[in-house]
């Protein structure tokens, strides 16, 4: 093919060398972005893996069927899912960035070869491109694997949410690499959407405060090593399901972002890894109960008011246990230096927590919803007055002391809420 060079990360980066990795990491985006094409062995979990493990050449020619004088071609709809969407390679976080940044990908799947670029998806069965009948379904699944210019009716928060949700399903050997392995996506997306100067630890400043309303819909837990602030999905270890409210960016919100103090990780790019966000909003102290208003699941209610509560999504938990986590004795006067050297995130079972819990109201979805009020569940350790940590997302059925949100300004006072 007349190419003079091939770049293989396991050969071009000295393995187990932090110094060499630090030097090379800053160039990863350019390596894949400017390569002619990316060669992907989709079924391989490591360098010893093989391709075409389920290949049958006799099935690579569409079956022709004539019905009432019309000729149809029969193919398996699951080919894309088997070869690309759920392939072994895509479960690796570093590979997500490589696939996303490369202009073109030649993919060696379980069954056949695929060719994918920003404008076309083709395979051995459809060498000139997948037909229109399939393109709608298949194209939606692969289009977010390549960065492309925004379309006229597209929404940047929706597009970003799709990438976050896909990325958080991937796995890493070291969770401390999660933000680094995502940095190329950040740069490319920011340039395409002209958001480059507004990135903050997994979220875009222009999407706040709506972007803070993400929720976890599977088992997950935060790492004991600090990777991001609790208000960011990046604080969670990967291979979990993160869902974001894509439709609320322009809805009326009861939250005002007062201040953001970003922290930057030491290293080649110095990208934001966390920090402190201060919000102004309506804060209600709550207590946990194991049997709540939504399908008997646990929720948080106002003390003494059994009618408050609703649909709760805690950030951290397993099948048998739920957790809350927070930083141990953070130095707020020099938080950046403290995080570099002394940061410890404590994780405790929810039932053993000694601090206070709060519901922070974000928006009112309207009376057509049983649990109409969306917001965050926050935790305040007993020895950290004035500091809060996000521990969950919740839809509440009613607000205490008011009949509707019109009465909030009269009967309630807004609080300044500092979330680490």
Task: Supply the DSSP string of 241-254, one letter for each residue.
Answer: -EEE-TT-TTS--S
Helices (H), 120-246: 132-142, 156-167, 183-193
- Domain housing 104: 9-145
How crowded is the C-beta side of 273, counted as CA atoms within 13 Å? 21
pLDDT at 126 over 70: yes
Q: What is the pTM of this model?
A: 0.85
For range 198-211, the mean pLDDT: 88
Tell whether 233 and 131 lie within a shared domain: no
Confidence label for 150 from pLDDT (cuts 50, 70 and 90) = low
- Least confident among 41-50, 180-189, 269-278: 269-278
> Which of residues 92, 125, 145 is at a domain's end?
145
pLDDT at 165 over 70: yes
Q: Say which residues have a Cβ less than 8 Å from residue 208's Cβ, sequence separation at least 6.
A: 257, 260, 277
pLDDT at 397 over 60: yes
Q: For 280, phi and psi rounded to 5 degrees?
A: -115, 125
Confidence label for 87 from pLDDT (cuts 50, 70 and 90) = confident
**Per residue in 246-267, pLDDT tens?**
667 667 789 999 998 887 655 4
Q: How far is CA 135 from CA 119, 130, 132, 365, in A?
A: 11, 6, 5, 35
CA–CA dist 27, 74 (Å, integer) = 44
Tell whether 132 and 238 lie within a shared domain: no
> Which of residues 101, 129, 145 is at a domain's end?
145
Tell whether 221 and 137 lie within a shared domain: no
**Is residue 398 domain-resident?**
yes
pLDDT of residue 268: 45
Tell whether 232 and 108 lie within a shared domain: no
Q: For 103, phi and psi rounded to 5 degrees?
A: -65, -40
CA–CA dist 117, 404 (Å, integer) = 51
**Is residue 173 domain-resident?**
no
In contact, 420 and 230? CB cutoff 8 Å: yes
Tell whether 130 and 273 lie within a shared domain: no
pLDDT of residue 145: 60
**Is residue 177 domain-resident?**
no
**Is residue 123 domain-resident?**
yes
Q: How far is CA 314 from CA 219, 246, 367, 378, in A?
A: 9, 19, 24, 10
Domain count, the chain: 2
> Which of residues 93, 124, 145 is at a domain's end?
145
Closest of 337, 150, 168 to residue 241, by C-alpha? 168
Higher-confidence position of 162 and 77: 162
Tell whether 236 and 325 lie within a shared domain: yes
Tell whether 137 and 284 lie within a shared domain: no
Tell whether 137 and 225 lie within a shared domain: no
Written in H, E and C, the secondary structure of 25-91 is HCCHHHHHHCCCCEEEECCCCCCCCCCCCCCCHHHCCCEEEEECCEEEEECCCCHHHHHHHCCCHHH
Tell whether 268 and 414 lie within a shared domain: yes
**Which range among 59-63, 117-121, 322-326 has the greatest average pLDDT?**
322-326
pLDDT of residue 107: 92
Average pLDDT, the chain: 83
pLDDT of residue 411: 86
pLDDT of residue 142: 61
pLDDT of residue 196: 66
pLDDT of residue 153: 47
**Is residue 407 domain-resident?**
yes
Give rounded-to-5 percent helix, strand, coil for the chain. Answer: 25, 30, 45
Task: Classify residue 119 by its DSSP letter.
Answer: S
**Is residue 326 domain-resident?**
yes
Residue 40 structure tokens? 């992907």
CA–CA dist 339, 382 (Å, integer) = 21
Confidence label for 367 from pLDDT (cuts 50, 70 and 90) = confident
For range 2-21, the mean pLDDT: 79
Omega before residue 9 within 30° of 0, cis? no
**Per residue in 297-344, pLDDT tens?**
899 999 989 989 999 999 999 888 899 999 988 888 887 777 776 778
- Least confident among 5-19, 34-48, 274-288, 396-410: 5-19
Higher-confidence position of 6 and 340: 6
pLDDT at 289 over 90: yes
pLDDT at 101 over 80: yes
Strand bridging mode 38-41 / 104-108: parallel
Distance of CA 189 to the CA centre of its chain: 14
Tell whether 90 and 217 lie within a shared domain: no
Residue 154 structure tokens? 């597209």
pLDDT at 162 over 50: yes
Tell whether 137 and 212 lie within a shared domain: no
**Is residue 196 domain-resident?**
no
pLDDT at 269 over 70: no
pLDDT of residue 152: 47
Beta strand residue intervals within 265-306, DSSP E: 272-281, 283-289, 299-301
**Is residue 324 domain-resident?**
yes
């Amino acid at each position: 093919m007349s190419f003079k060079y091939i770049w293989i990360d396991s050969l071009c980066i000295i393995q187990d060398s932090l110094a060499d990795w630090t030097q090379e990491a800053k160039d990863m985006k350019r390596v894949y972005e400017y390569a002619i094409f990316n060669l992907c062995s989709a079924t391989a979990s490591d360098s010893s893996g093989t391709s075409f493990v389920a290949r049958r050449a006799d099935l690579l020619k569409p079956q022709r069927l004539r019905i009432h004088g019309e000729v149809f071609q029969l193919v398996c709809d699951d080919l894309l899912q088997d070869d690309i969407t759920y392939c072994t390679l895509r479960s690796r976080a570093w590979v997500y960035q490589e696939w996303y940044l490369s202009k073109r990908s030649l993919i060696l799947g379980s069954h056949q070869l695929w060719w994918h670029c920003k404008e076309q998806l083709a395979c051995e069965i459809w060498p000139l491109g997948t037909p229109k009948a399939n393109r709608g379904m298949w194209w939606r699944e692969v289009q977010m694997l390549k960065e492309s210019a925004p379309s006229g009716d597209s929404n940047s928060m929706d597009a970003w949410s799709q990438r976050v949700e896909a990325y958080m399903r991937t796995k890493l050997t070291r969770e401390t690499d999660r933000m680094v392995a995502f940095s190329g996506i950040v740069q490319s997306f920011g340039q395409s959407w002209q958001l480059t100067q507004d990135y903050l630890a997994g979220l875009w400043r222009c999407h706040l405060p709506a972007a803070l309303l993400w929720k976890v819909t599977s088992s997950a837990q935060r790492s004991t090593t600090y990777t991001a602030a609790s208000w960011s999905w990046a604080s969670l270890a990967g291979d979990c399901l993160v869902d974001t409210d894509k439709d609320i960016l322009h809805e009326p919100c009861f939250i005002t972002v007062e201040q953001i103090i970003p922290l930057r990780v030491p290293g080649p790019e110095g990208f934001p890894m966390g920090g402190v966000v201060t919000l102004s909003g309506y804060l209600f102290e709550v207590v946990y109960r194991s049997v709540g208003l939504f399908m008997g699941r646990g929720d948080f209610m106002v003390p003494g008011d059994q009618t408050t509560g609703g649909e709760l999504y805690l950030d951290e938990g397993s099948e048998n246990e739920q957790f809350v986590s927070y930083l141990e004795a953070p130095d707020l006067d020099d938080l950046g230096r403290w995080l570099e050297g002394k940061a410890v995130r404590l994780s405790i079972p929810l039932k053993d927590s000694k601090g206070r819990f709060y519901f922070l109201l974000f928006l009112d979805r309207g009376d057509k919803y049983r649990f109409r009020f969306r917001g965050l569940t926050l935790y305040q350790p007993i020895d950290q007055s004035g500091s809060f940590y996000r521990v969950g997302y919740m839809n509440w059925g009613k607000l205490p002391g008011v009949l509707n949100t019109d009465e909030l300004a009269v009967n309630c006072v807004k609080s300044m809420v500092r979330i680490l």
